[in-house]
């Protein structure tokens, strides 16, 4: 099957993970207003957002396989996206300190009218953080473009006491689940 793969994201982490999977792809970020329809669970919300992104990019690439994803952090019934300010990052990290939260990543594969979506959820425990540690972490700049104000693959690893589930999901792409779904589109990463 001759097709190109298009990643509907400019996330360096997602690019790195697809490359790690052995895929060759181009990048075409979805230019959409991210709106979560009311009444959805966090899992349904990230899948809905990933479907919106995939559909937007597939309109420009109808014969290509589009991969889209969206990640959110869920803590105490609240959805934590990317912080809009250092103060918001501080509030998120203070709330997560010493507690568990969930990371949900929804993904969608779309090609020529065929669409498949899925969601992976991982539980992450933070250790107790001091105000000084939170301020030092924010000073790295790392929290500002990450859901929940941390990146597990960077300095944020120093905050994480434990994880239950897919580590790569916390980075922003559930590699195992995605690899299985790709087979339904004729792409076998291990073949």
Q: What are the tens digits of pLDDT across the range 109-123?
A: 999 989 999 999 999
Query: Predicted confidence band at 34 (pLDDT cuts at 50, 70, 90)?
Result: confident
190 domain residue, yes or no: no
25 domain residue, yes or no: yes
- The token pair at 109 is 């594969």
Which residues have a catalytic role annotated? 70
- The token pair at 165 is 């589930």
For a pLDDT cut of 90, what percent of the chain falls above it? 91
Number of domains in the chain: 1
For a pLDDT cut of 70, what percent of the chain falls above it? 99
**Is a pLDDT exceeding 70 seen at residue 36?**
yes
Spatial CA neighbour of 67 closest among 24, 122, 121, 123? 24
24 domain residue, yes or no: yes
Cβ neighbours for 157, distance < 8 A, ≥ 6 positions apart:
none
Query: Predicted confidence band at 191 (pLDDT cuts at 50, 70, 90)?
Result: confident
191 domain residue, yes or no: no
CATH of the domain at 121: 3.90.950.10
179 domain residue, yes or no: yes
**Is a pLDDT exceeding 60 seen at residue 1?**
no
DSSP output for 166-182? -HHHHHT--HHHHHHHH
Rounded to an integer, the average pLDDT of 4-12 is: 95
Whole-model pTM: value is 0.93
For residue 63, give its domain range.
5-183
pLDDT tens digits, 69-87: 999 999 998 999 899 999 9
189 domain residue, yes or no: no
Spatial CA neighbour of 170 closest among 53, 43, 54, 13? 13
Q: Please name the residue that has the structure tokens 């400019």.
A: 10
From residue 29, alpha-carbon distances to 13, 32, 55, 65 in Å are 14, 9, 12, 14
8 Å CB contact between 171 and 17:
yes
Query: Predicted confidence band at 2 (pLDDT cuts at 50, 70, 90)?
Result: low
Rg over alpha carbons for the chain, rounded to the nearest Å, is 17
């Amino acid at each position: 099957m001759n097709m190109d793969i298009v990643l509907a994201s400019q996330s360096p982490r997602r690019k790195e993970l697809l490359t790690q999977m052995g895929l060759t792809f181009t990048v075409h970020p979805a230019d959409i207003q991210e709106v979560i329809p009311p009444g959805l669970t966090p899992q349904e919300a990230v899948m809905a957002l990933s479907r919106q992104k995939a559909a937007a990019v597939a309109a420009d690439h109808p014969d290509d396989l589009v991969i889209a994803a969206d990640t959110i952090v869920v803590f105490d019934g609240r959805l934590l996206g990317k912080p809009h300010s250092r103060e918001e990052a501080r509030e998120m990290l203070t709330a997560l300190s010493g507690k568990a939260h969930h990371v949900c990543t929804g993904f969608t594969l779309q090609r020529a009218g065929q669409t498949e979506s899925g969601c992976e959820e991982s539980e992450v425990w933070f250790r107790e953080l001091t105000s000084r540690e939170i301020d030092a972490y924010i000073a790295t700049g790392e929290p500002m473009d990450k859901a929940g104000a941390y990146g597990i693959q960077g300095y944020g690893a120093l905050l994480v006491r434990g994880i239950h589930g897919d580590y790569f999901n916390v980075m922003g792409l559930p590699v195992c689940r995605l690899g299985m779904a790709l087979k339904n589109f004729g792409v076998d990463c291990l073949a």
